[in-house]
């Protein structure tokens, strides 16, 4: 999980992309490594994965998982280095590119973050998360017009895109337009109240409606 910056105090949560179970046969080795990590602490994960790297057998997925483990430890810089290694091995590795963009954004390396998200957009232009995360990076630089445009682009692809809806709620809340924030966070909750973003949106709604909206 990656906590994403926002000016508004009620926020916020975004997420690292993860290596999914149920991989194709060609990726059985990656699935085996992922299973070895189950139940381990972040430091144990880093130690195990670094051992694989030191043995001279690192695949792109090992570096990808190492990046996630480093972020779990709170080290965005080392996470970015691991994701860079994953992308170096496979420039089409979408999840690694997205996570790399998130790590650059976390470190306020905004031009590099946008470059990563643009690379991801070339690979999967119909993925709404690409555009909403890119929007977050522009938003963090106070380019609210460009951010809003990108959130809208995400919602054009998927009207229920939770990340874009949530981020628009944050943008309206930051601007003091709480009734609109309530609308967008309400849509997040309606689309999936059990997701992490759904739960956070529900908390935000409760606080806004209790203290800020007459």
Question: What pLDDT, on the 0 to 100 scale, is given for residue 1?
Answer: 29
Does one domain contain both 7 and 110? yes
Does one domain contain both 133 and 111? no
Could you tell me the pTM of the whole model? 0.87
Question: What pLDDT, on the 0 to 100 scale, is given for residue 21?
Answer: 44
Max alpha carbon distance in the chain (Å)?
A: 62
Which among 69, 86, 115 is the end of a domain? 115
Question: What pLDDT, on the 0 to 100 scale, is given for residue 13?
Answer: 41
Question: What pLDDT, on the 0 to 100 scale, is given for residue 213?
Answer: 58
Domain CATH number, residue 27: 1.25.40.10
Does one domain contain both 149 and 188? yes
Question: What pLDDT, on the 0 to 100 scale, is given for residue 23?
Answer: 41
Residue (of 8, 7, 6, 16) closest to 129 by Cα position: 16
Does one domain contain both 68 and 23? yes
Question: What pLDDT, on the 0 to 100 scale, is given for residue 30?
Answer: 79
Question: What pLDDT, on the 0 to 100 scale, is given for residue 211?
Answer: 73
Mean pLDDT within 144-162? 96
Question: What pLDDT, on the 0 to 100 scale, is given for residue 69?
Answer: 94
Mean pLDDT within 49-71? 93
Say yes or no to pLDDT of 3 above 50.
no
CA R_g for the chain: 18
> Cβ(182)–Cβ(208) under 8 Å?
yes
Question: What pLDDT, on the 0 to 100 scale, is given for residue 2?
Answer: 31
Does one domain contain both 21 and 80? yes
Question: What pLDDT, on the 0 to 100 scale, is given for residue 25?
Answer: 39
pLDDT in tens, 171-202: 999 998 999 999 999 999 999 999 989 999 99
- Residue 133 tokens read as 């995360």
Asked if residue 7 is part of any domain, the answer here is: yes
Count of CA atoms in the C-beta half-sphere (13 A) of 201 = 28
> Cβ(168)–Cβ(160) under 8 Å?
no
CA angle 69, 67, 83 (to 5 degrees): 175
Whole-number Å distance between alpha carbons of 132 and 79: 21
- In 10 A of CB 127, how many CB atoms? 18
Whole-number Å distance between alpha carbons of 44 and 111: 33
Residue (of 99, 78, 96) closest to 87 by Cα position: 96
What is the percent of the chain where pLDDT is above 70? 87
Say yes or no to pLDDT of 124 above 50.
yes
Which among 61, 95, 115 is the end of a domain? 115
CA dihedral 122, 123, 126, 129 (to 10 degrees): -90
Mean pLDDT within 114-131? 97
């Amino acid at each position: 999980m990656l906590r994403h910056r926002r000016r508004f105090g009620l926020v916020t949560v975004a997420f690292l992309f993860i290596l999914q179970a149920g991989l194709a046969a060609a990726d059985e080795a990656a699935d085996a490594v992922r299973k070895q990590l189950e139940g381990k602490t972040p430091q144990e994960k880093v130690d195990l994965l670094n051992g694989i790297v030191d043995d001279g057998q690192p695949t792109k997925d090992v570096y990808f998982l190492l990046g996630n483990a480093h972020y779990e430890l709170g080290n965005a810089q080392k996470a970015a280095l691991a994701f860079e290694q994953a992308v170096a091995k496979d420039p089409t590795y979408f999840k690694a590119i997205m996570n790399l963009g998130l790590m650059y954004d976390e470190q306020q390396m905004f031009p590099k973050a946008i470059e990563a998200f643009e690379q991801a957009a070339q690979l999967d232009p119909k993925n709404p998360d690409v555009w909403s995360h890119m929007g977050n990076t522009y938003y963090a630089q106070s380019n609210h017009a460009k951010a809003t445009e990108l959130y809208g682009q995400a919602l054009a692809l998927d009207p229920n895109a939770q990340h874009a809806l949530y981020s628009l709620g944050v943008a309206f809340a930051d601007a003091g337009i709480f009734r609109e924030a309530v609308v967008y966070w309400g849509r997040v909750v309606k689309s999936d109240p059990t997701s992490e973003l759904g739960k956070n949106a529900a908390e935000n709604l409760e606080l806004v409606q209790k203290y800020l909206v007459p």
